[in-house]
Amino acid sequence: HANGRSPAAPNSGDTKNLPLDTLINLDHGDPRMYESFWRKMGDECTFVIKGYESLSYFSNPKNPACWFLEPKLEDSIKALHGAVGNAVTDGYSIVVGTGSSQLLHAVLYAVTSPDQPNQTSVVAAAPYYSSYVEILNLVRSGLYKWDGDAHEFDKDEPYIELVTSPNNPSGVIRGPVVSRDGGILVHDLAYYWPQYTPITSSLEFDIMLFTASKCTGHAGSRIGWALVKDIEVAKKMTKFMEVSTIGVSKESQLRVAKILQVVADRCKRFGSPEGDNFFEFSKNLLTKRWEILRETVKKTQMFTLPKYPLQHCNYTGDVTQAHPAFAWIKYKDGMDDCEMLFKEHKILTRGGKKFGTDPGFVRVSMVSREEEFNLLIDRLSMIQGLNNVDG
C-alpha cells in the first residue's frame, strides 16, 4: 500500500514529528491527549515529597473502611464528584486501589464467599471491555469464573454482572441486562465524566468504580477508587488489598489528590480566559476530534460509527451528545477481519472478537496525542482512496 500523505486528508497538520510510515498504536486507550492541558497548567500540580515523608504503611488508621486511603485523596474525590455531579459520595465508603483494575479483583473477592457450592458466574453484556475476560481468567479463582455475555446468561444461580457505562468499547450508556434476584451489580464508571458523555444524574449504585486514568489522564499514577454503599463490602475489599499489596502508594495517592483538587476547584467556571477548566478543555478537544472522524468516516463510505442521543448535561447545562474515548468502527458490508485491514494501513486497533462480538468491528483510541490522531485521519482517508481506485 502507498504510504504517501493523502492530499484530501483533513487536518493533516501536526504530524511532522512522526515518520510517515510509523505504525500508530491506537489499541490501548493511553490518555496522552491530556498532556497538552497539563503542560499548559505549568507548576499548578507540581508537588514535592521530602525524603522523610510518607514512610509509614498507614494513612488513616481511624478510617474504618480503608486504613491506607490518604485523607487528602478522600477529600478531593468527594470534592470532584460534588462539583461534577456524576456520583453521590454521602453515605459511601471509599476504597482506593492500584488502578480500578485492582479494585475489580478486590470487588470479586469481596462479594463472593468460599462457602458457596460453586464458583459465582461473572458476566458482562457484549460488546464488553476485553480486560474483564483476562482479569477473570488469569488466575482460575475458586470463588468466581468468567461466564461470558450477559445476554446469554440463563442459570438460576447467584451471579455478578459488570455494568460498564458509558461502555468500553461502544461508548453507550448501559444498565444491567440480567436483572434477576441474587445478582450483584458492579458499575464500572471509568468514562462517566463530562468530556465523554452528558452527565444526566448523580449515580447512587451499590458499587461504583472510577479511575484517574480516564478522568484526568493520569493513567501512570495507577489510582482508582470505589464508592461502596455497604461498609462490610468495603472492608473486605480493603482486606484484599492488604493481603495483595499492603495498601496503595502514598506518592501516587497524594499526586492524584492534588490533581483532582485542581480540577475540582476550577471546573465550575466556563469560558474563563485562563482556559483552566479541565473538562471544558477536554470536551472541546474530543468534540473536535469526533467531528473530524465522523466527516472522514462518512467520506470513506466503508465504515459506520455509533450514533449517540442528544441529552442535557447537568454539569455543562448544554444539550450534547457523547464523545467517547474510543471510536467503535464497523465495516459496513461485513468483514472477516477489520483489525487486519487497519493494520495494513499501519493503524493498530483492537478487533471486535476480543470484546465478544464480530470481527467486523474495531475499537480505536480517540485519546491519543494530536500527532497520532492526525495520522489516523490521514490513513483512514487513504482507505477510502484504495476503495475508490479498486472498486
By beta-carbon proximity to ligand PMP, the closer residue of 188 and 339 is 188
By beta-carbon proximity to ligand PMP, the closer residue of 254 and 367 is 367
Given a contact cutoff of 8 angstroms between Cβ atoms, the answer to whether 292 and 10 are in contact is yes
Grid coordinates of 378: 490521514
Determine if 213 is a binding residue for ligand PMP (CB under 6 A). yes
Contact pattern from residue 155 through residue 194 relative to ligand PMP, giving x for each residue in contact according to CB under 6 A and a dash for the rest: ---------x---x-------------------x-x----
- Which listed residue (76, 100, 296, 357) binds ligand PMP by CB under 6 A? 100
Q: Using DSSP, state whether 15 is helix, strand or coil.
A: coil
Q: Where are the alpha helices (DSSP H) in 117-249?
A: 130-138, 212-215, 231-245
Span of 39-47, 98-106, 133-141, 302-310 interacting with ligand PMP by CB under 6 A: 98-106
CB of 100 to ligand PMP, least distance (A): 4
CB of 194 to ligand PMP, least distance (A): 17
Span of 51-59, 211-219, 313-321, 339-347 interacting with ligand PMP by CB under 6 A: 211-219
CB of 346 to ligand PMP, least distance (A): 23
Given a contact cutoff of 8 angstroms between Cβ atoms, the answer to whether 355 and 361 are in contact is yes
| Three-state DSSP string of 144-175 | EEEEEEHHHCCCCCCEEEEEECCCCCCCCCCC
By beta-carbon proximity to ligand PMP, the closer residue of 214 and 330 is 214
Q: How far is Cα 359 from Cα 356, in angstroms, rounded to an integer?
A: 9
Strands (E) across the chain are located at: 24-25, 93-98, 120-124, 144-149, 159-164, 183-188, 207-211, 223-228, 303-304, 311-312, 319-320, 326-331, 347-348, 350-351, 361-365
Question: Smallest Cα–Cα separation from 258: which of 52, 7, 94, 79?
Answer: 79
- Which listed residue (31, 127, 217, 224) binds ligand PMP by CB under 6 A? 224
Determine if 76 is a binding residue for ligand PMP (CB under 6 A). no
Contact pattern from residue 12 through residue 31 relative to ligand PMP, giving x for each residue in contact according to CB under 6 A and a dash for the rest: -----------------x--
Determine if 33 is a binding residue for ligand PMP (CB under 6 A). no
Residue 92 one-letter amino acid = Y
Span of 94-102, 140-148, 171-179, 246-254 interacting with ligand PMP by CB under 6 A: 94-102
Residue 205 one-letter amino acid = F
With contacts defined by CB under 6 A, how many residues of the chain interact with ligand PMP?
A: 13
Span of 97-105, 230-238, 252-260, 376-384 interacting with ligand PMP by CB under 6 A: 97-105
Question: Smallest Cα–Cα separation from 114: which of 154, 144, 91, 86?
Answer: 144
Span of 32-40, 50-58, 93-101, 370-378 interacting with ligand PMP by CB under 6 A: 93-101
Given a contact cutoff of 8 angstroms between Cβ atoms, the answer to whether 237 and 109 are in contact is yes
Give the CA distances from residue 163 to residues 37, 113, 289, in Å, rounded to whole numbers and listed in that order: 30, 21, 27
The residue number with the shortest CB distance to ligand PMP is 99
Given a contact cutoff of 8 angstroms between Cβ atoms, the answer to whether 210 and 92 are in contact is no
By beta-carbon proximity to ligand PMP, the closer residue of 29 and 277 is 29
Bridging pattern class, strands 361-365 and 326-331: antiparallel
CB of 129 to ligand PMP, least distance (A): 4
Q: Residues interacting with ligand PMP, by CB under 6 A?
A: 29, 99-101, 129, 164, 168, 188, 190, 211, 213, 219, 224
